[in-house]
Structure 1
Amino acid sequence: MTAVQGASAPQARAERRLAERYGPVRDARRGRRTMWILALTVAVLAGAFGLWVAIDRLAPSVSTQEISFFVAPDQASVEVLFEITMPPGEQADCTIEALDANFGQVGLLDTRLGPFQDRMNQVRVSVATSAAPVTGIVRSCELVN
């Protein structure tokens, strides 16, 4: 019979019986080490996500806000007035769309805007139409690389 160092014989027997019934006692250091590794992994992933968000927010972007539109008297075109915000000196490819009463596309124009000296500029674009338009919208704008 082998006794655990520093333990009395009855205590050693009790520990052996418990180990036979429930398995060996877990090392508390192993659990703490696992928790530290898990916490470190979560911290690294959170930091990487934060860095990705910061880089994405700092990247130059373009945004538009429609101001008004004007349908030509002969209904052969629609003029769209909008505000474009983008870094000075950059160019953007924009798609302007003319729609009919059923929101069907009756005109489409892809145009390059810029470079501008100011960050915010008002732009007026005319879109030829194939049927009577009732509105004009800016579908999209993307910076040119």
Structure 2
Amino acid sequence: MTTAQQLDERYGRTRRRRWPWIVGGGLALLVIGAFSWMTVAQSMASVDADDLGFTLVDEHSVEVSFQVTGVQGRDVVCALEALDEEFGVVGWTIVEIPAGDSHSQAKSVTIPTVAEATTGLVNTCWVA
């Protein structure tokens, strides 16, 4: 008489091992968790700047108004540019904005220029 084990061995019905699937699933969860945390950490340290307008003071300066939305309690640094009618940079400055009580701060900064500017804008901002 043949036993169930002999029939399983004869016809290739063996027990599958579960540990490779468990290890693979654990690694997949670890990778997904790491990417999720990197996404959250990056968004927590992001800064958004919105141009509100500009005023041409004279032929050697332009005033740029902008709003910075970023991390509360952290200093922010912004690079501002003044451009001429051909979009060439005729002036720029770096502005350090100290940490405030709110997530959003409005600022106006005067940029000195070497020629007459036709616009002023925020190039980029980052957490200091």
* TM tier, smaller: 0.7 to 0.9
Structure with bigger strand share is 2
Q: Measured at CA, do residues 141 and 29 of structure 1 come closer, stay the same or move farther in structure 2, by a change above 3 Å?
A: same
**Distance across 2 between alignment mates of 1:89 and 1:79:** 26
* Cα RMSD for the two superposed structures: 2.6
Counterpart of 1:66 in structure 2 is: 51
How much has 1:51 moved relative to structure 2? 2.5
Whether contact under 8 Å (2:71, 2:127) holds in the other structure is: no
**Distance across 1 between alignment mates of 2:2 and 2:80:** 85
Q: Show CA shifts across 1:36-78 (max 9, x none).
A: 3323322221122223223333x34322110001112x32111
SS in 2 for 1:50: helix
Which one has a bigger Cα radius of gyration?
Answer: 1
Q: Measured at CA, do residues 115 and 50 of structure 1 come closer, stay the same or move farther in structure 2, by a change above 3 Å?
A: closer
Counterpart of 1:53 in structure 2 is: 39
**Distance across 1 between alignment mates of 2:109 and 2:73:** 20
AA paired with 1:66? D
Q: Measured at CA, do residues 115 and 34 of structure 1 come closer, stay the same or move farther in structure 2, by a change above 3 Å?
A: closer
Q: Measured at CA, do residues 52 and 88 of structure 1 come closer, stay the same or move farther in structure 2, by a change above 3 Å?
A: closer
AA paired with 2:109? V
SS in 1 for 2:85: coil
Aligned: 1:127 with 2:125: no
Aligned: 1:103 with 2:64: no
Q: TM-score when scaled to structure 1?
A: 0.70
Counterpart of 1:35 in structure 2 is: 21
Higher relative contact order (CA 8 A, sep 6+): 2
SS in 2 for 1:108: strand
The alignment covers a number of residue pairs equal to 124
**Distance across 1 between alignment mates of 2:95 and 2:31:** 41
Structure 1, unmatched stretches of 5+, are: 19-24
AA paired with 2:23? I
Q: TM-score when scaled to structure 2?
A: 0.77
